[in-house]
Structure 1
Amino acid sequence: MDGSSHLEAKLLYRRLDSVLGALDVSRPGKKLLVSFLEQAFRTLRDDLRLRAAVLYAEGREGFSFVKAVGDLKSPARDTLDPAAPPVSLVLQHGVYIFPDPGAEGTPARAGILPRGAAAAIAVGARGDRHLIFLLVGEGWVREELDFALNTLRAALGSRIMEERVRGSFREAAEIQQSLLLDELPEFPGYDMAARSVPAEEVGGDFFDFIPFDGEMLGLAIGDASGHGLPAALLVRDVVTGLRMGIERELKVAPVLTKLNRVIHRSRLSSRFVSVFYGELEAAGNLIYVNAGHQPPLLFSRGHVLELATGGTVIGPLAEVKFQRGVVRLYPDDVLVAMTDGIFDRRSRAGEFFGEARLRRMVEESKGAAAADLLDRIFTAAFEFGDGRPWEDDATAVVIRRTAAPPAAATPPA
């Protein structure tokens, strides 16, 4: 029986990212999957209550046993029939959870796993598919398991595809560069600056500004988990989908909900992507949705507000809903939005740059132009890491409200 959530979402994201970041795509498909199985089981065993896992590879006669980890107690079956449950269920759905060990068509009934709650994922294209069956123990949480397995499946699919499209890096870099703005749009009453530095030739971070008219400006920042080609392709899809959706609907939450469905169905989906999108009015109101992104910080009148209202990251789950948040920027207020590449920058001693340093830096830079504050942030984070190359993509957006909009002229009496 699944229990209540015991794991913080951000901690789970980090665990998943560490597993996916350790994948070596230079390995052949089967070796890549074996390496993934071992790494994932070792890293996620306690968080997801995993007891055992079994990997099968597709061949001419069905699926053959490849590798097992954990406490199986008895050997797994050597071969599996694609038409028989539970294999057919997993192939049909991609991810499948078997909560009742006594039901028909479970991995236990098929002799794949010992009796108990189980789950499975399928990755790859027909003729070269792999199945991973997982045995879970007491205290497992369906929501966490479903999220993790959907994320891992999407990532594995993109990694396997990356082997086939490795030569497309230059094209992807050109596509990504075309999406980033050379010049930020002007928005009267506001001073703005933004920068994105990829850790590799192409990155998984982005920022965007969408001008509507002189009265409202759309702004976005996002971080596709990992970096390189799969993340860059996902960024392309997200930025394009966000621009098209906003232009058509002008409704923040429904656009992100639809974008999530599109990204979830995409076989190029890197892993998952966090997105913060807001619509800033000239009068200072900011309506926003935070889809699992590092909360931007609003420095306002001696207080610091975290803009965290929204929902989960985009991609892993087919159906998600988002809530809107509303804040107000007053003259001299500063909004700073960043990605983990800056917060997670490490010193030689392994210490994170962290949010506290950023807060002090902004408070000590009161009145500074947005571009100057942006320079200080990147310089401080880079020097904190002793000038080493960036470990992860680093992106920041700084918006400072400079003045209240001019009052409307009073008509003559």
Structure 2
Amino acid sequence: MHAAAALIRATIAELDSTQAALAEALIASQDRLLAVKALAQVNVRRVGSDGFLDVLLDQALALTGASQILLFDAGAVLASRGVVTDVDGHIEIVREVIAASPRGALVTTAGDRAIVGNLDPDDGGRRHIAFFRPAARPFSTTDLPLVEAISAALGVRLALAQLHRRELEQAVVEREHQLASALAQSAITVDPPRSPAVDLFARTVPASLTGGDFFVFGRADGVLWFAVGDVAGKGLPAAMLMTRAVAACRVAFLGHPSPSVPDVFARIEDELYAHLDDAGLFITLVVGAVEESSRTVSMVNAGHSPVVLVRDGYAAPVRSSVPPLGVLRGRVPEVCSVTLGVSDRLVVGTDGLVEQAGPDSELFGYDRFDELCRSSSRLTPAGIGAEVFATLADFASGTAASDDATLVVVASAEATR
């Protein structure tokens, strides 16, 4: 009887001990789960701060009971937390594991003293993390789920931090583009000069922050100069070349008071050719001079379109006679000369007008543009400009412009009085 009672008491004590151990394990497990949750919920406002990564790794160090954590990016140590005597040895262990399995999941190595895992196996496998413990307290299979959860949480938070950095970098780039756009547009946002002989309209609408279209005017000794150009390409390189082209045109206009359009064109080409050749770009360009006493317009067209002369109810294109600037140097251009009558209109645009797409991806096209110039030819240059941009906006129906759009209209002043 006494033996049976003793056995029962021993069994109850063992059950109590087992229950206590289970309760302790459950509490520890719950604590770890809460700690992992806390790791995953590190204040997002700290993303990108100097101490953000240290906070994450310190929490992971405490959760896993590791003596050291190493974070690798493309095989190089990005961060290290904890204290250990053989850092170089640990680094070599991790690099051997990465070399053997660069995109592998958690790998236990070094006599179970280390666990190495890939933080982004679906994104090229650049970042790895390694947890080290002392030899007297190696990792066990029960530690793997916890390390896996911590690694996943770290991967998410690091991805958020990387995204935050990219957004900041993009914001800086966009700000620089805005400043560059303002500077570039300031080079051309000058009202056309007033002339007793001709009436002018000019407007450019960049498709993005920085554009390559431009127009330039100059006036000296009874000669009104104008140029309309389009730098191939977009963004900052096109904008920089555009501002240089504007400056080259203005210098050439001031240096040639007599209406020698080929000489002015040659001077502009000499100034820009080397820069265009280095950049691998070109500029389509129309250069013209209006003799105010006779209202005679002389033009050189270097690969530019659309250029339309509306006369007697017909819209006739002014063809190019030389390639764009930057393609072939030193070609002698033909000069197109016309004397503007009361009903004549010279319309010079850029390809962003004719290449505007509609909702069905159909382009506005040259035929529509020519007809629009013809049908609006009774209007003043400002009226033609308003009609062209309004018609294009209706045609686009909200479709974004793929290129800059520029328009210059020249007419006899008699027609607008």
Taking structure 1 as the reference length, the TM-score comes to 0.54
More off after superposition, 196-205 vs 264-273: 264-273
Provide the rounded CA distance (Å) in 2 between the counterparts of 1:225 and 1:237.
14
Q: Hey, what does 1:78 align to over in structure 2?
A: none
Q: Secondary structure at the residue paired with 1:310? A: coil
Tell me: CA distance 1:197–1:321, structure 2 relative to 1, closer, same or farther (3 Å). same
- Of 227, 233, 250 in structure 1, the residue corresponding to residue 234 of structure 2 is 227
Contact 1:263–1:269 (Cα < 8 Å) also in 2? no
Tell me: CA distance 1:291–1:188, structure 2 relative to 1, closer, same or farther (3 Å). same
Q: Answer yes or no: is 1:210 the counterpart of 2:210.
A: no
Give 1:139-178 correspondences, 5 Å limit: 168-178=176-186
Provide the rounded CA distance (Å) in 1 between the counterparts of 2:401 and 2:373.
22
Q: Answer yes or no: is 1:256 the counterpart of 2:252.
A: no
Provide the rounded CA distance (Å) in 2 between the counterparts of 1:396 and 1:354.
15
Contact 1:185–1:211 (Cα < 8 Å) also in 2? yes
Give 1:79-94 correspondences, 5 Å limit: none
Q: Answer yes or no: is 1:294 the counterpart of 2:305.
A: yes
Q: Secondary structure at the residue paired with 2:239? A: helix
Q: Hey, what does 1:186 align to over in structure 2?
A: 194
Give 1:13-162 correspondences, 5 Å limit: none
Tell me: CA distance 1:260–1:402, structure 2 relative to 1, closer, same or farther (3 Å). closer
Q: Hey, what does 1:272 align to over in structure 2?
A: 282
Length, aligned pairs only: 242
Tell me: CA distance 1:332–1:402, structure 2 relative to 1, closer, same or farther (3 Å). farther
Contact 2:353–2:392 (Cα < 8 Å) also in 1? yes
Q: Secondary structure at the residue paired with 1:246? A: helix
Q: Answer yes or no: is 1:400 the counterpart of 2:408.
A: no
Provide the rounded CA distance (Å) in 2 between the counterparts of 1:202 and 1:404.
36
Task: Write the letter of the residue equivalent to 1:225.
Answer: A
- Of 374, 387, 397 in structure 2, the residue corresponding to residue 386 of structure 1 is 397
Q: Answer yes or no: is 1:359 the counterpart of 2:370.
A: yes
Provide the rounded CA distance (Å) in 2 between the counterparts of 1:279 and 1:324.
11
Q: CA deviation at 1:306?
A: 2.1
Task: Write the letter of the residue equivalent to 1:209.
Answer: F
Contact 1:257–1:322 (Cα < 8 Å) also in 2? no
Q: Answer yes or no: is 1:284 the counterpart of 2:292.
A: no
Larger radius of gyration: 2
More helix by proportion, 1 or 2?
A: 2
Among the aligned pairs, what percent are the same residue? 29
Q: CA deviation at 1:225?
A: 1.0
Task: Write the letter of the residue equivalent to 2:216.
Answer: D
Tell me: CA distance 1:204–1:270, structure 2 relative to 1, closer, same or farther (3 Å). farther
Task: Write the letter of the residue equivalent to 1:387.
Answer: G
1:209-261 deviation digits (Å, cap 9, x = unpaired): 11224x32111111111221111111111111111122213432233234323
1:301-339 deviation digits (Å, cap 9, x = unpaired): 233332225311001334433222211211121111100
Provide the rounded CA distance (Å) in 1 between the counterparts of 2:201 and 2:185.
17
- Of 330, 337, 346 in structure 2, the residue corresponding to residue 326 of structure 1 is 337
Contact 2:303–2:320 (Cα < 8 Å) also in 1? no
Task: Write the letter of the residue equivalent to 2:284.
Answer: S
Contact 1:246–1:252 (Cα < 8 Å) also in 2? no
Contact 1:234–1:269 (Cα < 8 Å) also in 2? no
Contact 2:217–2:224 (Cα < 8 Å) also in 1? yes
Consecutive unaligned residues of structure 2, counting only runs of 5 or more, are 1-172
Provide the rounded CA distance (Å) in 2 between the counterparts of 1:182 and 1:264.
25
Provide the rounded CA distance (Å) in 2 between the counterparts of 1:167 and 1:264.
30
Contact 1:193–1:399 (Cα < 8 Å) also in 2? yes
Q: Secondary structure at the residue paired with 1:249? A: coil
Task: Write the letter of the residue equivalent to 2:357.
Answer: R
1:50-103 deviation digits (Å, cap 9, x = unpaired): xxxxxxxxxxxxxxxxxxxxxxxxxxxxxxxxxxxxxxxxxxxxxxxxxxxxxx
1:279-298 deviation digits (Å, cap 9, x = unpaired): 01222211111111114111
Give 1:307-346 correspondences, 5 Å limit: 307-346=318-357
Task: Write the letter of the residue equivalent to 1:221.
Answer: V
- Of 180, 197, 220 in structure 1, the residue corresponding to residue 205 of structure 2 is 197
Tell me: CA distance 1:189–1:265, structure 2 relative to 1, closer, same or farther (3 Å). closer
Provide the rounded CA distance (Å) in 2 between the counterparts of 1:238 and 1:269.
14
1:178-236 deviation digits (Å, cap 9, x = unpaired): 211332211114322111000111100001111224x3211111111122111111111
Q: Secondary structure at the residue paired with 1:261? A: helix
Tell me: CA distance 1:292–1:235, structure 2 relative to 1, closer, same or farther (3 Å). same
Q: Hey, what does 2:91 align to over in structure 1?
A: none
Q: Answer yes or no: is 1:236 the counterpart of 2:246.
A: no
Q: Hey, what does 1:138 align to over in structure 2?
A: none
Q: CA deviation at 1:270?
A: 5.8
Provide the rounded CA distance (Å) in 1 between the counterparts of 2:265 and 2:321.
10
Provide the rounded CA distance (Å) in 1 between the counterparts of 2:318 and 2:204.
21
Tell me how large the CA RMSD over aligned residues is. 2.6
Consecutive unaligned residues of structure 1, counting only runs of 5 or more, are 1-164, 407-413
Contact 1:203–1:231 (Cα < 8 Å) also in 2? yes
Provide the rounded CA distance (Å) in 1 between the counterparts of 2:364 and 2:203.
18
Taking structure 2 as the reference length, the TM-score comes to 0.53
